[in-house]
Amino acid sequence: MAAFEGFGATVGQAWQGTLSFSDVLNAAAQLESEGFLPLSAVLYQTWLARTTSAYAHAAYFNLGATLTNLGDLAGAEAAYRAALALSADFVPPRLNLGLLHERSGRFDDAIAEWTWIAQNARRDEAGRAMVLLALNHLGRLLETRKQFSQALDFLTESLRLDPAQPDVLHHWVFLRQKQCAWPVYQSLPGVSPQAMQAATSALAMISISDDPAAQLAAARQFVDKKLTSNLPQLSSSAGYGHRKIRIAYCSSDFCLHPVSLLTVQLFELHDRQQFEVYGFSWSPDDGSALRQRVIAGMDHFFPIHHLSDVQAAELIRAHEIDILVDLQGQTAGARADILGYRPAPVQITYLGLPATTGLPSIDYVIADRFLIPPDAAPFYSEKPLYMPHVYQVSDRLRQSAAIPTRSSCGLPDDGFVFCSFNNSFKYTPEVFGAWLRILQRTPGSVLWLLADNPWAEANLRREAAQQGVAAERLIFAGRVAPDNYLARYGVADLFLDTFPFNAGTTANDCLWMGCPLLTLTGRSFASRMAGALLTAAELPELITTTLADYEEAAVALAQNPARCGQLRQHLHAVREHGALFDTPRFVRDLEARLRGLVSAG
């Protein structure tokens, strides 16, 4: 309380103009350290109103930072602008103004501030840190706004200034993947291929390698570097003995997202005589019908975006959740520290990350024996919780629009239509090369792809031209509403899967609509997803294990339209009667395993 007790006298000195800038800094710092943030702001404001000082620009900057912490964004912006009015070349206010603009949704203004720093700030030892921060903010914000090419340029400039930035490098790798900028591990001065691999995130690694050991290493590296260890544990393994098992699902994807597209009917079909279903969400409210179905499918739904990780964990613990299911893994928006507090006795990961999470706080991963063969289990930090038929749940209530005509999709009326509606970061030069050879061996055929971003499209067209495939044989489809997207599978003849990151939700949609899918299976979770679905659909002949066999099978199917028709008929029967889409059976099978976990605890 020492700072508070002396506050009146200090303000009096500030009012009289007898405090030096150093005195103000020390007094404000003490006030802030003792929790008197508003008084710190009053002190700066009083001193600035009564004092003429060569350091006034720095005081205005400090005032802006204090007001930002108090939530007074308009006051903070005014303080930063006052600092710049006194010293136009003073960089820190511009950096923070960019953050304020971003927080307020004024993204172009944020980009303008950081671009000014990147173009005008000194790059000597004193100024380089500010330039790096500006470049990295530009890369981060532009990536979230899907301006991938500009984002990559800024991060490349940042790495040329300082190659020793693993966090920047991991975004740089993923941006190259998203744009199909091959080779992904492009040479950079001062950055070795080993450093690039070490900086590759768990999600990005899935598209690069099907080596489960490499994926486990990437996951554990993330855990070691980014997560807090030795957090206090909020629950014990003893359990609570509830009459109904309390199961909670947590995610940032309870919106129009692939995870919710798969899981929504799971929430709806849980046996309410045996289970009480909770949702803990930090998802955007996108107003979608799917989000409303998710919320309605829960008995209790708690938005926790406003809570800290420890507060969220304490809320989960307060509700005595028996089983907590993480639908996130290490994907964007993850809040792994919530799990780190162990708010539930049993914690499971499902669907969010198609790989091991490396999180010591997660006990199980929901799988099947094709997806994670028992001999691959040592490469997972979690214990596989094996489902008897298939690991992936489905929504039997999804609706398709009317099947469009080929011409309305920009497709030729004649010729075989290969498709692959996976995200472009799943494409690799090896598999894309196989697709081009398949086109060359199938006269009149086209390849129908997702128009994910213009830079990927341009790079893929360039690659095709270099391999002698005409540009018009690659046809790109824009994103549409889910029902129209599903309808596209009625026009395509064969889906060509990606490798080593297979289709997941996309494969489920494809097979649901009766479109045959050809996959290449490897050793990792992500490279076995489509194979797991095809196994449940009793179509092992559509699972290949080498790129050569994959290519041969695609060409053979394209030359045998009658066989493709038979496959469609088989898939329609699977939709009605097979294990793949039997959601009620999936839910009962899962519940049986969950009951076993609770009783064992």
Query: How far is residue 78's CA from residue 74's CA, in Å, rounded to a whole number?
Result: 6
Which top CATH class is 407-580?
Answer: alpha beta
Distance CA 24, CA 360 (A): 47
Residue type for position 86: L
Candidates 351, 267, 275, 337; CA nearest to 301 is 267
Per the DSSP assignment, residues forming a β-bridge with 279 are: 249, 301
Average pLDDT score over residue span 354-371: 96
Predicted confidence (pLDDT) at residue 2 exceeds the cutoff of 50? no
- Average pLDDT rounded to a whole number, residues 473-485: 95
Residue 317, pLDDT > 60, answer yes
- Cα dihedral sign, 188-192-195-201: positive
* Banded pLDDT at 17 (limits 50, 70, 90): low
The neighbouring-strand residues paired with 250 are: 280, 326
At 51, the amino acid letter reads T
Taking the whole predicted model, whether its pTM rises above 0.85 is answered as: yes
**pLDDT band (50, 70, 90) for residue 13:** low
Q: pLDDT class for 559, splitting at 50, 70, 90?
A: very high
Q: Where in the chain is the domain with CATH 3.40.50.2000?
A: 407-580
Give me the mean pLDDT over the 83-92 stretch: 94
pLDDT > 50? residue 51: yes
Highest mean pLDDT among 71-80, 192-201, 236-245: 71-80
pLDDT tens for 124-182 read 877 899 999 999 999 999 999 999 999 999 999 999 999 999 999 989 999 999 999 99
Rounded to the nearest 10 degrees, what angle do helices 37-50 and 56-69 cross at?
150
How far apart are the C-alpha atoms of 507 and 544, rounded to whole Å?
Answer: 15
Write down the pLDDT at residue 1: 44
Taking CA atoms, 364 is separated from 217, 269, 379, in Å, by 18, 22, 13
Residue 12's pLDDT band, with cuts at 50, 70 and 90, is low
3-class secondary-structure state, position 203: helix
Mean pLDDT on 420-445: 96
Distance CA 346, CA 236 (A): 9
Helices (H), ranges, 227-352: 258-269, 289-296, 309-318, 336-340
Query: Mean pLDDT across the stretch 175-204?
Result: 89
pLDDT of residue 481: 92
Choosing among 1.20.1250.20, 3.20.20.80, 1.25.40.10, 3.50.50.60, the CATH entry for 2-197 is: 1.25.40.10
CA distances for 150 relative to 146, 241, 244, 425, angstroms: 9, 55, 52, 17
pLDDT beyond 70 at 423 = yes
CB-based burial of residue 317 (10 Å sphere; 0-12 exposed, 13-18 middle, 19+ buried)? middle
Helix (H, G, I), strand (E, B) or coil at 17: coil
Q: What percent of the chain has pLDDT over 70?
A: 97
* pLDDT for 10: 52
- Contact assessment for residue 439 and residue 473, using Cβ atoms and an 8 Å cutoff: yes
447-459 CB burial, b ≥16 within 10 A, e <16: bbbbebbebbbeb
pLDDT at 541 over 60: yes
Give the highest mean pLDDT range of 13-17, 70-74, 274-278: 274-278
Structure confidence at residue 346 as a pLDDT band (50, 70, 90)? very high
CB-based contact 313:341 (threshold 8 Å): yes
Tell me which of 135 and 336 has the higher pLDDT. 135
Can you tell me the distance from the alpha carbon of 209 to that of 211, in angstroms, rounded to the nearest whole number? 5
pLDDT band at 333 (very low <50, low <70, confident <90, very high): confident
Residue 28 confidence class, pLDDT cut points 50, 70, 90: confident
Q: Does pLDDT of 74 surpass 80? A: yes
- Omega within 30 of 0 (cis) for the link into 500: yes
Name which of 313, 363, 303 is nearest 335 in CA terms: 313
Closest CA to 331 of 180, 221, 510, 206: 206
Evaluate if residue 409 carries a pLDDT over 90: yes
At 555 the pLDDT is 98
Residue given tokens 């520290």 in the structure block: 337
pLDDT attached to residue 520: 98
Contact 40, 34 (CB under 8 A): no
Locate CATH 1.25.40.10 in the chain. 2-197
In the chain, which segments carry CATH 3.40.50.11380? 245-386
pLDDT value at residue 582: 98
- The pLDDT of 439-463, averaged and rounded, is 96
3-class DSSP assignment, residue 56: helix
Any residues with CB less than 8 A from the CB of 512 and at least 6 apart, and which?
Answer: 394, 398, 486, 575, 581
> Which amino acid appears at position 208 of this protein?
I
Q: What secondary structure letter does DSSP report for 189?
A: T
Q: Say yes or no to pLDDT of 364 above 90.
A: yes
Q: Which tokens in the block code for residue 463?
A: 């690659």
CATH number of 245-386: 3.40.50.11380
Of 83, 101, 103, 85, which Cα lies nearest the Cα of 93? 83
Of the chain, the percentage scoring pLDDT greater than 90 comes to: 79
Least confident of 6-10, 37-41, 384-388: 6-10
